[in-house]
Amino acid sequence: MRFRNKVVWITGASSGIGEALAYAFAREGAHLILTARRRERLEAVRDACTGQGKILLLPFDVTDYDCHPTMVGAAIEHFGQVDILSTTRASRNARSCWRPTSAWIGASWRSTTSAWCR
């Protein structure tokens, strides 16, 4: 249980690598924040997760930057912190870029990881 009680936010959690990461972190005892556009797929992933951690679903399109402050606020309000951010959403554009998390979630963030953007 290496990630017991850590809060892990996974974008692109409805399929592929993001879905696999959700299952892996859940087995390791992490609390999860699962993000993707399709709520019904997030619900299916949540229901298939094993482990004792809590799971928060935050369905939204990560390229809709105007909703980022609201979603980050919801995550922080629910868990009080985010320990790990995994940005695995698919990109339709090979010229996608990285953006500092400070620009993505503002002063609430205490990390230097990066967030995927288009």
Dihedral sign for Cα 118, 58, 83, 21, please. Answer: negative
- Say which CATH class 7-117 falls into: alpha beta
The stretch 32-54 carries a mean pLDDT of: 95
111 or 46: whose pLDDT is higher? 46
Q: Look up the pTM and report it.
A: 0.77
Q: Are 111 and 82 in contact (CB under 8 A)?
A: yes
Share of the chain above pLDDT 90, in %: 62
Q: Is the pLDDT of residue 45 over 70?
A: yes
Q: Are 25 and 2 in contact (CB under 8 A)?
A: no
Residue 52 pLDDT: 87
Q: Are 7 and 34 in contact (CB under 8 A)?
A: no
Question: Residue 14 has what DSSP assignment?
Answer: T
Average pLDDT, the chain: 81
Q: Where are the domains positioned within the chain?
A: 7-117
3 or 103: whose pLDDT is higher? 3
- Phi/psi class of residue 113: alpha, beta or left (left: φ > 0; alpha: ψ in -120 to 50)? beta
The stretch 103-109 carries a mean pLDDT of: 46
pLDDT in tens, 51-100: 889 999 999 998 888 999 999 999 999 999 999 999 876 555 434 444 44
